[in-house]
Structure 1
Amino acid sequence: MAPVEDNDSGMESQDGSQSMDQDELTEKEFTAKEKKQPEIENAEDDEPAETLGERLWGLTEMFPESIRNATHTTVVNTQAGLKLAYNFSRSALWIVFSTSIILFAPVIFEVERAQMEEMQKNQQKQMLLGPNSAISGGVPPPLMPPMQQQR
């Protein structure tokens, strides 16, 4: 028995009779066209991809030289101004924060020390006079409000 050959017109056996019907033939042609189509798409993609920078550079040719120069000057000056503002703000913030720490740290430490002394005095009072004396400042609170005289 001889091997079966594939052709675009269909499959033929030894005796030459056609073994595929017309529907199978159109399906085979369709799949063959699908296989060829990506090759055509790849042929169109042979050009290297254009970057955004290249596209923008190409668009500059449609503007006059004076506009291009003005735009370039504006961009360069804006960039320099932003760098200057950033450096100035960095220096100014460093000066403000370091000065505030140097000036206010001693005040904060003194306030904390005064609070600690007050707490120690309250603890000593509490130990000597009882738990209610430190809270009320030495005078015990009245248990009942004073009674009003009736007329």
Structure 2
Amino acid sequence: MSDILIRPLEEKDHADWKRLWTNYLIFYKASVSEEVYATTWERLIGEGEFEPNGFLAFIDGRAVGLVHYIYHRSCWSLVNNCYLQDLFADASTRGKGVGSKLIKAVQDEAGKLGIKNVYWMTKEDNAVARSLYDKVATRTGFIEYDLL
């Protein structure tokens, strides 16, 4: 397998980003409006301490994975936390290091700001992702609740 290149999202990545994020949403049987796509993209490439950020993963020049992450304040620390919101790798590349490299890129970027707490969640039945997460992070035992 070729080397995996990870780099921050750039304006020129819109089509690759949209393709990957669409596939991520399909995986989770979800969808968003075109307005949400457009607003999310603008936020990802915009500036601001609390705007979302993202990286793409490339193999042989082809975008094969993405991650979105957001910094936010905490009542438990003087420095922000980092929420890894979305992580996706093309099905053809799963198990080949794309996800772990994207997670590491977020961890390294957060570390530049003194942020040690990078966290995320996944569906309980997402066995493939959980097998990676169990190798790279500690499961906290917290259960999520949503007011929808």
Normalising by structure 1, report the TM-score: 0.18
Give the structure with higher Rg (CA): 1
Compare relative contact order (CA 8 Å, sep 6+) and give the higher one, 1 or 2. Answer: 2
TM-score under structure 2 length normalisation: 0.19
